[in-house]
Structure 1
Amino acid sequence: MDEETETLALAIGRRVRAQRQARDWTLDRLAAEAGVSRRMIVNVEQGTVNPSIGTLLRLADALGVRLPALVQARAEASDLVEVTRHGEGAVLWTGEHGGRGVLVAGIESPDVVELWDWTLEPGERHASEAHSTGTRELLHVIAGEVVIEVAGAAHALAAGDALTFSGDVDHAYANRSAGTARFSLAVFEFGVGSSHREARS
């Protein structure tokens, strides 16, 4: 891991551990609630692994918190605004050719909205497992060309195009062109952690 990734991994580990301990949960309990291995929980809490976006989403949902609460640096905030400065977003995906998926902003649970800034270099593809039921994604291509795969169907978009789709099915973002592609993505996920809270009540 590079220094930036290592710093983020350690911060995520501290936050996951704090959330788990605040609930008086064992590692096994969190593993069971999140559907990930105990070994992965240990590695995440120790900051020795760069967890996938899917793993982070499962942990956030199990803990009943929004993803930004686990990954974002402390933003400038007041009762009315929260500012994330350029370069302060959480880089949660890095492609083999230098592409990046950066979580730049988000709002509180239980109804979560995340704002992402994505860059895909030629040949890069990011596959995402299905999110919780009812999740919607809105994508706007800023530059280049992007192919969005939703439940096996491919949708080619060029700069200026936009797409709204269900995020509760398997989907992927791919750059099959020869140039860099960049897009903004908003994810709306409703009732995050509610299934776990209801099960405990």
Structure 2
Amino acid sequence: MDQGTTTLAAAIGARVKQQRQFRRWTLDQLAEVAGVSRRMLVNVEQGAANPSVGTLLRISDALGIGLPALVELPETASLKVTRYGEGAALWIGEAGGRGVLVAGTAPPDVVELWDWHLSPGDRHSSEAHTRGTKELLQVQQGTITLEVAEQSITLEAGDAVSFPGDVAHAYANPSAEPARFSLTVFEPGVGSGHHSEVSDD
């Protein structure tokens, strides 16, 4: 892990441990509610793991705090500014792409704003999120292929789409040029402890 990833992993680990202890839960209790292994939780709390977005979603939902609260510093002011380059890079593709969470709201109805860069050949896959999750995507640069359940669509710069996030979906860049898109995720009822399985390539 590079320095930025190491720092983020340590911060996430500290927040998970703090929230777990606040609830007076053991590692085993959180593991059961979140649907992740005890070993993974130990690694996350120690900052020794670079967990997938899916794993972070399961943990944050189990704790009832939402993904943005898990990866961002708490703010007392009503205005939360994320300067360019300060977002939490929660996914890094094999070809060098990045999925960066740049802003979000508090639970129970969480809205996340992401800045995605997909290098040529990059692909991010996710299983279904919580029931009722919706996603909005707009391509800023290049071309991406969006797969939602059994459907596949090609989107060019300026194109936008809304789709259900509670079914399996994927974003890919099959072209020879870099692609960038903005993604907004609406996840209702965070903290219910009933996340679907989510996985990331």
Superposed counterparts of 1:175-186, under 5 Å: 175-186=173-184
Match of 2:14 in 1: 14
Match of 1:55 in 2: 55
Do the aligned residues in 2 keep the contact of 1:33 with 1:62 (CA within 8 Å)?
yes
Amino acid at match of 2:136: L
TM-score computed with the length of structure 2 as normaliser: 0.94
Cα displacement (A) at 1:96:
1.3
Do the aligned residues in 2 keep the contact of 1:134 with 1:166 (CA within 8 Å)?
yes
Match of 1:87 in 2: 85
Match of 1:78 in 2: 77
Amino acid at match of 1:11: A
Cα displacement (A) at 1:74:
5.2
Cα deviation, 1:40-79, whole Å, max 9, x if unaligned, reads: 000000000100000000001000011011112456x623
Match of 1:165 in 2: 163
Asked if 1:41 is matched to 2:41, the reply is: yes
Q: Hey, what's the Cα distance between the residues in 2 that align with 1:8 and 1:155? A: 34
Match of 1:199 in 2: none
Do the aligned residues in 2 keep the contact of 1:73 with 1:89 (CA within 8 Å)?
no
Q: Hey, what's the Cα distance between the residues in 2 that align with 1:124 and 1:84? A: 25
Q: Summarize the Cα distance change of 1:47–1:195 in structure 2 as closer, same or farther, 3 Å threshold.
A: closer
Q: Hey, what's the Cα distance between the residues in 1 that align with 2:18 and 2:135? A: 30
Cα deviation, 1:163-188, whole Å, max 9, x if unaligned, reads: 10000011100000110000000000
Superposed counterparts of 1:21-170, under 5 Å: 21-73=21-73, 78-79=77-78, 81-170=79-168
Match of 2:187 in 1: 189
Do the aligned residues in 1 keep the contact of 2:140 with 2:181 (CA within 8 Å)?
yes
Cα displacement (A) at 1:194:
2.5
Do the aligned residues in 2 keep the contact of 1:66 with 1:108 (CA within 8 Å)?
yes
Do the aligned residues in 1 keep the contact of 2:60 with 2:67 (CA within 8 Å)?
yes
Amino acid at match of 1:91: A
* Unaligned ranges ≥5, structure 2: 195-201
Q: In angstroms, what is the RMSD of aligned CA positions?
A: 1.1
Q: Hey, what's the Cα distance between the residues in 1 that align with 2:169 and 2:147? A: 5
Do the aligned residues in 2 keep the contact of 1:140 with 1:185 (CA within 8 Å)?
yes
Q: Hey, what's the Cα distance between the residues in 1 that align with 2:53 and 2:182? A: 17
* Unaligned ranges ≥5, structure 1: 197-201
Cα displacement (A) at 1:195:
4.4
TM-score computed with the length of structure 1 as normaliser: 0.94
Q: Hey, what's the Cα distance between the residues in 2 that align with 1:85 and 1:28? A: 37
Do the aligned residues in 2 keep the contact of 1:112 with 1:189 (CA within 8 Å)?
yes
Q: Report 1 or 2 for greater relative contact order, CA contacts < 8 Å, sequence distance ≥ 6.
A: 2
Amino acid at match of 1:50: N
Do the aligned residues in 1 keep the contact of 2:34 with 2:193 (CA within 8 Å)?
no
* Overall identity of the aligned pairs, in %: 66
Cα displacement (A) at 1:98:
1.3
